Amino acid sequence: MAVNKTYKGRDMTKSAVCIISGGMDSALSAKIAQVEGYEIIALHFNYGQRTQTKELTCFRKVASSVDAVKSYEIDLPFFEQIGASALTDKSIEVPTGGIEEGVPITYVPFRNGIFLSIAAAVAEKHGAEALFIGVVEEDSSGYPDCRESYIEQMQKAINLGTKEETNLSIKMPLVALKKSQIVEKALELGVPLQSTWSCYKEEGKACGVCDSCRLRLNGFKEAGSVDPIDYI
């Protein structure tokens, strides 16, 4: 339930914009926002990723599960034009040989920076106090835009570039967690993990061999649980 505040005699609602990809991490991040008493404004991006249709379906289910009062589904077709990532350029194969060293080819150039900028505009429109993003630094695939230090700098830039009364806090509740801890917390809070998607390659059944599938499966294994989605 959202927390009500009073401002100049009016009840105000504590609200947060939650970037929800349809994946497990962002689903848990949004659930944590709900548990903390925020009214949820759900935000999703269709950016030409290989599993765009599946991710959108999962986003809608996750947004419903956290009782989102407003949902935005924003198309960003220019990512396909930029390319340079196996997620948006189908001429580049998605790696399936295990976790890569350094920045992997599935990194989408400055994706989170662009996502956060748009999320800030949505938050300013609604007078939201916070942005929630499910970035994971320690157990991620080496994406530079998932680092805590980077998100903190984005928060400073956003607050410098918005109205004086806008004071957004970017929340990263998962940034220091391992994937197994994310699974455990999601199960504890009742996140609908069966309605989330992590696979980079497939939309019917998950491939089980891309970096994202490997991280997810290992997280469930270490948590002593079984992943509820189907794999090839």
What is the per-residue pLDDT for 101? 77
Instruction: State the average pLDDT over residues 111-134.
Output: 98
The per-residue pLDDT for range 157-185, each reduced to its tens digit, is 999 999 999 999 999 999 999 999 999 99
Quick one: pLDDT band at residue 212, thresholds 50, 70, 90? Answer: very high
The mean-pLDDT minimum among 9-23, 65-79, 189-203 falls in 9-23
Q: What is the mean pLDDT of residues 26-43?
A: 98
Q: Report pLDDT digits (tens) over 147-159.
A: 999 999 999 999 9
For the domain spanning 4-178, the CATH number is 3.40.50.620
Domain ranges of the chain: 4-178
**What is the per-residue pLDDT across 94-110, written as a single tens digit (0 to 9) for each?**
999 886 778 999 999 99
At residue 4, the pLDDT reads 53
**Per-residue DSSP letters for the chain?**
-PPEEEETTEEEE-EEEEE--SSHHHHHHHHHHHHTTPEEEEEEEE-S-TTHHHHHHHHHHHHHHTT-SEEEEEE-THHHHH--STTT-TTSPPP-SSPPSSS-TTPPTTHHHHHHHHHHHHHHHHT-SEEE----STTS---GGG-HHHHHHHHHHHHHSS-TT---EEE-TTTT--HHHHHHHHHHHT--GGG----SS-SSSB-S-SHHHHHHHHHHHHTT----S-B-
- pLDDT at position 9 is 40
What's the pLDDT at 143?
92
Question: What pLDDT is recorded for position 140?
Answer: 61
